Amino acid sequence: MVVDRSLLSQSSETTPLSPASSCGGIARECRTDAPRISVVISTYNRAAVLEDAVRSILTQDETTFELIIVDNNSTDGTRQVVERFADVDGRVRYVFEPEQGSSHGRNAGIRAARAPVIAFTDDDVRAEPDWLAVIVRVFREQPDVDVIGGRVMPVWPATPPAWLTRDHWTPLALIDYGEQPFEVDATQPICLVSANLAVRRTVLDVVGGFAPAFQLVKGSVGSVEDHELLLRILRTGRKAVYEPRMVVHAAIQSNRLERSYHRRWHRGHGYYHALLRSERMEHTGVGTLFGVPAHLYRQALEDVVGWVRATATRQTLRAFDHEVRLWFFLGFFQTRRRQFLERPRDQRRAEWRQLFRGVRRRMRPAAPGSVVAPGKP
């Protein structure tokens, strides 16, 4: 087996990822042996779990695909695992990406892909046998759809604790928005995760791949590279859908059943959201303090009060809901305050002046008979 090291170039948020072929659509391959779908799995030191993920792809009902496994600089037996599969199935391809990080790994897979549709999943995920067939069918039936995301259901290592309800599935990268498909657009930018995501290649050529600034790296949690890519795609007016028939199952690590992991994840998620600067998060009618929109301070105050009340009345589940939101705020605040202090003095003063004017506007009494429009502070 030959490793294609020409696929190891750097990627960025805005640099187009040149395709290996010029396929124009899922029903029109460029040559007879071209795959309908390129499946990309980026992996790092997960050889022990990778085999089951690969088997779940190779036994798909849809057979016209290639499976690109990106070794993201692993030091275990990852390459040997992939080689064993590649020796018996020509659809398996090995790519080595030395630059550490989930975005770098997936972008290497995008550059290697030959199909008009690229499907992403993870090394600890098992896809349903009809996973690829559903993707092919949806793209064929809805040619105006450019992105499809589906359900990510848990495989628990043990009975989950009572507090780990569906409200706390997000740190586990689990997705289940119900049994009905629906459109995802810029007004409803819910998260579709790369454990179960399919994107037309032409879209990635225009908007670029996964942004390394928001990626998961060794030791970090709470990253938002999936959501950032989706937001970038939606800003171009393209259409995404949630498809509940597109199902995978994710093996949940035992440490993720602990509250300490969820606290750490929400703090990390706050850090990444501070970098993301999404329109919904940044909207404020008053201004910012240390770079943090005013409405986040109000939410944090409400969560402090809610946590105290829930703790005093021994409503432990409700108290934990408030607590994790406070961890998110802490990660967000610490990141923005550091960025604020790194800014030139005149910019910091301008923020203070804007905040002061916003507060004065809110305190000014409305004219008689006027109607004050509701909105965030």
- Kindly report, residue by residue over 274-287, the tens digit of the pLDDT: 999 988 888 888 88
Amino acid at 321: D
| In 16-129, beta strands by DSSP E | 37-43, 65-71, 92-96, 117-121, 125-127
User: Taking the model in full, what pTM does it have?
Assistant: 0.85
Residue 300 phi/psi, 5° resolution?
-65, -40
Six token digits for residue 260: 């300490």
- Kindly report, residue by residue over 240-261, the tens digit of the pLDDT: 999 999 999 999 999 999 999 9
45-49, 137-141, 168-172, 350-354: least confidently modelled range: 350-354
Model confidence at 29, pLDDT cuts 50, 70, 90, reads: very low
- Kindly report, residue by residue over 312-350, the tens digit of the pLDDT: 999 999 999 999 999 999 999 999 999 999 999 888 888
Structural domain 5-257, CATH architecture: Alpha-Beta Complex (3.90)
- Kindly report, residue by residue over 175-187, the tens digit of the pLDDT: 999 999 999 988 8
Residue 365, pLDDT score: 61
Residue 185, pLDDT score: 86
Helix or strand (DSSP H, E) at 148: strand 145-155
CATH 3.90.550.10 positions along the chain are 5-257
| Average pLDDT estimate for 129-143 | 97
> Apex CA 268: angle with CA 300 and CA 213, to 5°?
120
Query: How far, in Å, CA of 295 to CA of 301, rounded?
Result: 10
The answer to whether 281 touches 153, Cβ cutoff 8 Å, is no
Mean pLDDT over all residues of the chain? 88
